[in-house]
Amino acid sequence: MLEVKDLVVAYGKVKAVKGISFSVEQGQVVSLLGTNGAGKTTTLRTISGLLRSESGEIWFEGERIDRTPAHKVVMKGLAHSPEGRKIFPRLTVEDNLRLGAFARKDTDGIARDLKRVYDLFEILYERRAQPAGTFSGGEQQMLAIGRAMMSRPRLLMLDEPSMGLSPIMMQRIMSTIRALQSEGVTILLVEQNAAAALKLSDRAYVLEVGQITLDGTGEQLLGDDRVKRAYLGED
């Protein structure tokens, strides 16, 4: 479904991603793991078109998208919920969600998806007329995921969805990801919390300073000594 080949991304002279290749199959949850500065966020931002790659190719559903402007990538069915949530603070919850569906024209479908998001996150419905900037971190994260769902993506990229959340909130988010997967949405996940991410993942890649150093199924990596030591905090 998504295929990244030899991707190189640079900020000026500094290469943040140094030739990585990976793929995401239909219906899977795939994780990118790694420390800060490993190039995970850069990779996602390049896939969604916010950054331009230096070389390499990105294919989505058989179409090359590495020169497609960001606003057109969304229309192809690839949504990106960015790091730090990035909700629109001075707009209401409902306006935020409607912006998620900006590229769509099917009024009925949008109304249905709005209801689906409200069913999933009741608090968003209760506070739909409030400015999103007044929300707590966890609520903003729900809004960010809901907003990304509003474009009805076939592939959803989530960057650090659990950042700064309480353990309970964290569980909510993880079970939401599972629910989305069961609805047929493919997910590419970047996560600090490696243990939680690996439990969900069909496949995972470990990035270190811009290169993929390890990959395997979620289960394989959970059992891998190097992963345990570096990312799961075990000896």
Partner 1 sequence: MTYYLDQLLNGLSLGSLYALIAVGYTVVYGIVQLINFAHGEIFMIGAFGALSTWIVLSWVTGGSTAWWNLPLMLVGGMIVAVLTAVLMERFAYRPLRNAPRLAPLITAIGISIFLQEFVRLFYGQIPGFPDAKAAIPFPQLEFFTGPAIDVGGLQVHRGNFFVMAALLICWIFLWWFVNRTATGRAMQAVSQDPDTSRLMGIDVDRIIVVAFAVGASLAAVAGLASGLRYGNIDFKMGFLAGLKAFTAAVLGGIGNINGAVVGGLTLGVVEAMATTLIPGQFGGPAWKDVWAFVLLILILVFRPQGLLGAKVVDRA
Chain positions contacting partner 1, by CB under 8 A: 48-50, 69-72, 74-75, 79-80, 82, 85-91, 95, 98-100, 102-103, 131, 133-137, 140, 147, 151
Q: Which is nearer to partner 1, 94 or 202 (CB)?
A: 94
Locate 147 and state its tokens: 């907003």
Q: Which is nearer to partner 1, 151 or 201 (CB)?
A: 151
- What CA–CA distance (Å, rounded) separates 55 from 91? 37
Let me know how many helices (H) and strands (E) the chain has, helices first. Answer: 10, 10
Q: Which is nearer to partner 1, 139 or 224 (CB)?
A: 139
- What is the smallest separation between the CB atom of 98 and partner 1, expressed in angstroms? 7
Q: How far is CA 191 from CA 67, 160, 162, 174, 197, in A?
A: 26, 5, 7, 11, 6
- What is the smallest separation between the CB atom of 96 and partner 1, expressed in angstroms? 9
- What is the smallest separation between the CB atom of 219 and partner 1, expressed in angstroms? 32
- What is the smallest separation between the CB atom of 47 and partner 1, expressed in angstroms? 11
The helix (run of H) or strand (run of E) holding residue 150 is: none
Q: Using an 8 Å Cβ cutoff, are 51 and 45 in contact?
A: yes
Angle at 127 between CA 123 and CA 130, to 5 degrees: 145
All residues at 6 or more sequence positions from 91 whose CB lies less than 8 Å from its CB, including other chains: 99, 131, 132
Q: Which is nearer to partner 1, 81 or 201 (CB)?
A: 81
Angle at 12 between CA 59 and CA 204, to 5 degrees: 40
Q: Which is nearer to partner 1, 75 or 111 (CB)?
A: 75
Q: Which is nearer to partner 1, 2 or 222 (CB)?
A: 2
Q: Using an 8 Å Cβ cutoff, are 135 and 127 in contact?
A: yes
- What CA–CA distance (Å, rounded) separates 56 from 78? 19
Nearest-CA neighbor of 198 among 181, 222, 215, 178? 222
- What is the smallest separation between the CB atom of 13 and partner 1, expressed in angstroms? 18
Q: Which is nearer to partner 1, 107 or 182 (CB)?
A: 107
- What is the smallest separation between the CB atom of 216 and partner 1, expressed in angstroms? 30
- What is the smallest separation between the CB atom of 195 and partner 1, expressed in angstroms? 27
Locate 20 and state its tokens: 């990585």
